[in-house]
Structure 1
Amino acid sequence: MELLLPIVSIILTVVIFVLCKKLYKRWKSLLLSPILICPIVLIILLMAFHTQYPTYNSGAKWLTKLLGPATVAFAVPMYKHFQLLKKHGVEIIVSLAVGSFTAIVSSFLIALWMKLSPNLINSLVPRSITTPIAMDISKTIGGIPTMTAVFVIITGLTGSILGPILIRLISIRSSTAKGLLLGMGAHGAGTSKAFEMGELEGTFASLAMVVAAIISIILAYTFFPILQTELTP
Structure 2
Amino acid sequence: MTFVIAVISLLGTIATFYACKALHQKFQKEWLTPILITPLVIIIVLLVTDTSYASYNAGANILSNLLGPATVAFAVPIYKNVQLLKKHAFEIIVSIAVGSAVAIASSYIIALVVGLNNELVHSLVPRSVTTPIAMDISNMIGGSPTLTAVFVMTTGILASLLAPIVMRLCQFKKPSARGLMLGMGAHGTGTSKAFEMGELEGTFASLAMIVAALISIVLSTTFFPVLEHVVMNILLP
Query: What secondary structure sits across from 2:215 in the alignment?
Result: helix
**1:17 equivalenced with 2:7 (yes/no):** no
Match status 1:74 vs 2:74: yes
User: Displacement, 1:148?
Assistant: 1.0
| Deviation, structure 1 residue 140 | 2.1
State the match for 2:166 in structure 1. Answer: 166
Superposed displacement of residue 27, structure 1: 2.0
Higher deviation after alignment, 157-166 or 92-101:
157-166
* Structure 2 counterparts to residues 107-186 of structure 1, below 5 A: 107-186=107-186
Cα distance, 1:61 vs structure 2: 1.5
Shift of 1:19: 1.1
- Contact 2:119-2:144 at 8 Å conserved across structures: yes
The alpha-carbon deviation at position 193 of structure 1 amounts to: 1.5
What is the rounded CA distance, in whole Å, between the counterparts of 1:56 and 1:160 in structure 2?
27
SS of the residue corresponding to residue 122 of structure 1 reads helix
Q: Aligned letter for 1:19?
A: A
Q: Find out whether 1:214 has 2:214 as its counterpart.
A: yes
Tell me the amino acid that sits aligned with residue 84 of structure 2.
L
Aligned AA (1:143): G
AA at the equivalent of 1:173: K
Instruction: Note if contact 2:119-2:143 (Cα within 8 Å) is conserved in structure 1.
Output: yes
SS state at 1:3 partner: helix
Report deviation, 1:153: 1.4
Q: Percent identity?
A: 59
2-structure distance, mates of 1:162, 1:131: 20
Equivalent position amino acid for 1:22 in 2: A
For this pair of structures, how many residues does the alignment match? 233
Q: Is 1:51 equivalent to 2:62 in the alignment?
A: no
**25-34 vs 49-58, which moves further:** 25-34
For 2:224, the equivalent position in structure 1 comes to: 224
What letter corresponds to residue 51 of structure 1 in structure 2? T
Distance 1:6 1:102, change over 3 A: same
CA distance in 1, matches of 2:132, 2:36: 18
**Shift, 1:88, TM fit:** 0.3
Contact kept in structure 1, 2:31 and 2:161, CA below 8 Å: no
Give the letter for the 2:190 counterpart: G
In the TM superposition, structure 1's runs of 4+ consecutive aligned residues that sit over 4 Å from their partners are: none
**How far 1:152 sits from its partner (Å)?**
0.9
State the partner residue of 2:103: 103
How far apart in 2 are the matches of 1:59 and 1:142? Answer: 28
Instruction: Answer whether contact 2:20 2:32 (CA < 8 A) is retained.
Output: yes
TM-score using structure 2 length? 0.95
Which one-letter code corresponds to 2:131 in the other structure? T
Q: Distance in 1 between matches of 2:140 and 2:59?
A: 24
1:152-196 CA-to-partner distances (Å, cap 9, x unmatched) read: 111111211222211111212211111101111111111112112
2:86 equivalent in structure 1 = 86
Q: 1:192 maps to which residue?
A: 192
